[in-house]
Chain A
Amino acid sequence: MTCKVIELYSSEELHKMEQTNRHWIIGLSMFSAAALAVCISFALRTRTLNAMQMELSAVAVSTVAGWIVLYFALFRVRTGRREIQHAVMLQDEVRDRYEGTVSLQKEQFLIRKSVPVQRVEVQDENGEIVRLLICSNKSNTLAQAHPTAVYVTHGYVAAYEVAQ
């Protein structure tokens, strides 16, 4: 029986993640610049009679645009960067191999300044259990693959083996 090793993060996928994150950063920067330009236009159009309205408009646009940028910067860009850092870490060639029954626990938890993770248990033929971690956004991939072995680096599942 032959086995096939499948990487959780291929180099193409990593490149795509980096590109997507870069596009988000560029998009958010352009959006911020546009919001700032709108606020500056309010300031330039200020006259005696409309000063209060222009100031309130500038505050409203600045506040709402800032919230939008903050939301996506915190929950998309920063999360994306952490996933990229995680994926780069998993590219490490020094890996351990564990063969056996692979089971995934559903509970998700967040490691500070890292990605959401789930626990993976590998029970070998002797009944010994090894406890590992996997990035949550790859957990479904692992669960659906029914792997026969996993490759681990820094305590995280980096690749898995399936029977062909």
Chain B
Amino acid sequence: MRVFKNIWSQLHTFVLWGLASALFWAYVFTFVTDTAPEKKVMIYCDVPELQDIQLAARLEEDLPEGLRMIKVRSFQYVMMDTDNIQRGDLFLLPASKVEEYRQFFLEGDEGIQVYDAQTHTGIAGQYIKFGEENYYLFYGAKSPHLDDGKAREVAEILLRVP
């Protein structure tokens, strides 16, 4: 009884601590779960359904030397004005949106087909649910890994995922 009375008298302190603890570790883990652009490859996917964490973990099983992590994220066109997304290394998107995003891709890159809508065959089937059209993989024009070949290496790993 006395314990409850004590806690009640300082309830605001206990609540504040809980909030502070959650915010602090959320902040710490943004650094733990991220790294400099030179040490990671970012893959952005405009698909109906995506298991981003599981796919990233699968790709990291064959992590190229010099990289610390591979991150997979969903994205949409409205997000393209952010610098972070424009600096993405690889973009996976449907054929109908290719011209919309063209300016963000490497010049001359015609894309690699990763999903065929007619045969319903494509890459990473257990991680990505594709729509009812063809999908292509492109290199980002501002990717920091165009010169060191890491973007290409990760693309090859992705293409090998059944």
Seen from chain A, the residues whose Cβ lies within 8 Å of a Cβ on chain B are 39, 43, 46-49, 51-52, 54-55, 58-59, 62-63, 66-67, 70-71, 74-75
Contact A70 B13 (CB under 8 A): yes
What are 20 inter-chain pairs, A to B, with CB distance below 8 A? A39-B25, A46-B32, A47-B57, A48-B56, A48-B69, A54-B29, A55-B26, A55-B29, A58-B25, A58-B28, A59-B22, A59-B25, A62-B25, A63-B17, A63-B18, A66-B17, A66-B21, A67-B17, A71-B6, A74-B10
Distance A54 CA – B32 CA, assembled complex (angstroms) = 11
Distance A62 CA – B57 CA, assembled complex (angstroms) = 27
Distance A75 CA – B7 CA, assembled complex (angstroms) = 9
Query: Hey, which chain B residues are within 8 Å of A66, CB to CB?
Result: 17-18, 21
List the B residue with the shortest CB-CB distance to A56: B25
List the A residue with the shortest CB-CB distance to B6: A75
Which of B21, B22, B26, B60 sits near A48, CB closer than 8 Å? B60
Chain B residues touching A, range: 20 to 34
User: Least Cβ distance of B26 to chain A in Å?
Assistant: 7
User: Least Cβ distance of A137 to chain B in Å?
Assistant: 14
- Say whether B14 faces chain A, with CB atoms less than 8 Å apart: yes
Q: Chain A: interface secondary structure?
A: helix
User: Least Cβ distance of A149 to chain B in Å?
Assistant: 34
Q: Chain B: interface secondary structure?
A: helix
Contacts A48-B60, A63-B22 given; does A74 touch B29 at CB 8 Å: no
List the A residue with the shortest CB-CB distance to B19: A63
- Say whether B54 faces chain A, with CB atoms less than 8 Å apart: yes
Given A59-B25, A70-B14: 10 more A-B contacts, CB < 8 Å: A39-B25, A43-B29, A49-B53, A51-B33, A51-B53, A52-B53, A55-B29, A58-B25, A59-B22, A74-B10
Distance A66 CA – B54 CA, assembled complex (angstroms) = 33
User: Least Cβ distance of B17 to chain A in Å?
Assistant: 5
Distance A120 CA – B100 CA, assembled complex (angstroms) = 86
List the A residue with the shortest CB-CB distance to B56: A48
Which of B14, B21, B54, B69 sits near A59, CB closer than 8 Å? B21
List the A residue with the shortest CB-CB distance to B60: A48
Distance A43 CA – B32 CA, assembled complex (angstroms) = 7
Query: Hey, which chain A residues are within 8 Å of B60, CB to CB?
Result: 48
Query: Hey, which chain A residues are within 8 Å of B6, CB to CB?
Result: 71, 74-75
Distance A79 CA – B36 CA, assembled complex (angstroms) = 48
Per-residue CB contact flags for chain B residues 1-39 toward chain A (1 = under 8 Å, else 0) read 000001100100110011001101110110011000000
Contact A46 B33 (CB under 8 A): yes
User: Least Cβ distance of B41 to chain A in Å?
Assistant: 13
Contact A71 B29 (CB under 8 A): no
Distance A51 CA – B33 CA, assembled complex (angstroms) = 7
